Structure 1
Amino acid sequence: MSRHVRYQRTLAGFYKACVLMITALLIACQSPREALQQLAQEHGRQVDVLPGDAFPLLILTPQTAEKITRLRVYLEGDGHAWSTATQPSLDPSPHTLLVPRLAVDDPTPNAYLARPCQFVMAAACQSALWTNRRFSQEVVTRLSQALDQLKQRYGNREFELVGYSGGAALALLLAAQRNDVTQVQTLAGNLSPRLWATMKGLSPLDGSLDPLDYRKRLALLPQRHLIGEADLIIPSGLADRYQQALDSHLSEYVPIQGVTHDRGWEAPWSQWVKTPLVRENAEVKAR
């Protein structure tokens, strides 16, 4: 090989490395809202904002405009709630777009729903809403209003809620307070903020609700909880204690090997999202 050819290949490799580095820097410089907008455009989704008196909420709209019976709604986690161990963040928007990515890759008609003050700030936004009061009735009520808005827009009769991390607690609380949530799935879910705080040796989340206070109602709800065995944020024992307290044959607990709190979920979720829940399995066998 001539010296000139080797030089050209070296130069081409250098240019390629520079392009990759510049691309990475541009992505890093994007705001969470800009990154979400780009993700939506790449997958034919639209970023929209559901109006609200106190908290407008950001959504990624479904691809289909057809009338559907059940709409799957992905609920975001706690996002960037804390800047340090003791200092709340000024903006709780998630820096990693794990949940939106799962939503846009899911062929089932679905919408992604962010939490209050994520991606869209409002005058009523205070750090308590993404720290101690992140599971408060105020937050649950606003998310429930958003589900009503989605129902009016898309004409669905039912919801399936998919909650990630803290979004799992909110999915369960919504299911306990509504009559149109027919099943819940969670990933790396904080299924009981009260038990979670105790297990982690943290102060209780004053002002927050706990799903286990609605255990009689939730025991009748088909639900599946996927837990990362390498998750250092949500202890695997939390799902065990939730299952014991709930004491329901309609609740499944599935440990996933090699998955952390926010990494490795895409592959297992692409498989489990196609698997019917307990009640659906029973209905199929009864036909």
Structure 2
Amino acid sequence: MSALKNFIRSLVPAKVLNAYRERKKDKQRKLIREQELRGEGLTFTQVFQQLQACGLKAGDSVLVHSSFSKIGFVAGGPRIIVDALLEVIGAEGNLLMPSSPNPGYQLDYIRNLEQFDVRNDPSKMGAITEYFRKLPGVLRSESPTEPVCCFGPKAEWFTSGHLGEETPYTKNSPFARLAEANGKILYIGVTLDNAGTSLHVLEDAVPDFKYPVYYPELFHVSVKRMDGTSVPVSVKVHNPEQSAKRKCDGLLPLFEEKGVMTRSTIGNAPTLVFDAAKMLEVMISEYQTNGVTMYTPNGGN
């Protein structure tokens, strides 16, 4: 379905596409405003209880992808969501969120990038992620294309291996380390089509992955670290031609069947909860035996 959507989008003029997106945003903002006026805002206690109902518990390491607007009106804003997440996982848990400064194709972004500023470049992955990024004690990994923020006792371990990796999904990345730590992935109001970063771990985990997921050119940029020093790095980015063939949500039935994923709700937002280790295990197994990937969710040669 996502491949078809991408094809249709490629035929629609950018002006028309942007106008359509703005209408959708206006409709969502109106619904949220109506909720607020009716006094139906989601409270901290409600969010906390709903997160527990998702299966989150003390000590969990959890990577959260989110669309704040899909949740509906939250009295207190993104802070309530983050506070509830931290309360559920407790002092021994680790909270992770994507914080890429790029909302679009990596190739367009990297061609115009001279330096990624770890401390100051904002996250473009939604309001919750940007609020979380700026909290005291939150560490941010140093990948110029897919940085991840983390708070918790293992935050340094989760974020420290990202600098200098040519691709952002290697065994040293927060995405792969989450699977190593038996963590969870929470999709609040978004799906794999919107936020499929963890699917890319497969592409770096198996030798000679059979699709050209990376653009052939190696890019050289600078990373300004948290301490203010700058280091040169070389990175690869996704090949947009291959990216247009993604059918990420086509994997959902498989993940559900294999016990990798469960469904829940946070506010008005449909929510998916993944076991990160099982997700990677199933992806590798299904790729090796049936040719299953995000490009061929039903298998292929």
What's the TM-score, normalizing by structure 1?
A: 0.31
What's the TM-score, normalizing by structure 2?
A: 0.30
Larger RCO (CA within 8 A; separation ≥ 6): 2
Larger Rg: 1
